[in-house]
Amino acid sequence: MSRRQPVVGILGGGQLARMLVLAGAPLGVNFVVVDGSPDACAGQVAPLRVADWRDTDSLARFAAEVDVVTFDFENVPAETAEWLSGRVPVYPNPAALTVAQDRVTEKTVFRGIGLETPAFAAVATRAELDAAVVVTGLPAILKTRRLGYDGKGQFRLRAPTDLDAAWAALGPQAEPHGLVLEAFVPFTRELSVLAARGRAGEFRAWPLTRNWHHEGILALSQAPAAADAALAAAAIARARALAERLDYVGVLALELFEHGGRLLGNEMAPRVHNSGHWTLEGAVTSQFENHIRAVLGWPLGDTALCANSLMFNWIGSLPEPAAAALALPGVHWHDYGKAPRPGRKVGHATVCARDDATLAARAGDMARVLARAEQLAPARAVLPEVWAPCPERAPAAAR
106/90 Cα distance (integer angstroms): 20
Q: For position 88, what pLDDT does the model report? A: 98
Q: For position 331, what pLDDT does the model report? A: 96
Q: For position 2, what pLDDT does the model report? A: 57
Domains of the chain: 7-90 (3.40.50.20), 119-183 (3.30.1490.20), 189-398 (3.30.470.20)
> Is the pTM of the predicted complex or chain greater than 0.85?
yes
- In which residue ranges of the chain is pLDDT below 70? 1-3, 148-151, 371-375, 378, 380-399
Residues whose CB is less than 8 angstroms from the CB of residue 118 and which lie 6 or more positions away in sequence, other chains included: 136, 182, 183, 184, 185, 257, 264, 266
φ, ψ for residue 163 (rounded to 5)?
-65, -40
Q: For position 357, what pLDDT does the model report? A: 86
74 and 99 in contact (C-beta within 8 Å)? no
Q: For position 215, what pLDDT does the model report? A: 82
Q: For position 177, what pLDDT does the model report? A: 85
Q: For position 227, what pLDDT does the model report? A: 86
Q: For position 395, what pLDDT does the model report? A: 30
203-205 and 209-214: which strand pairing?
unpaired
350/330 Cα distance (integer angstroms): 8
179/192 Cα distance (integer angstroms): 24
Q: For position 216, what pLDDT does the model report? A: 83
294 and 310 in contact (C-beta within 8 Å)? no
Q: For position 383, what pLDDT does the model report? A: 61
Q: For position 380, what pLDDT does the model report? A: 66
Q: For position 146, what pLDDT does the model report? A: 87
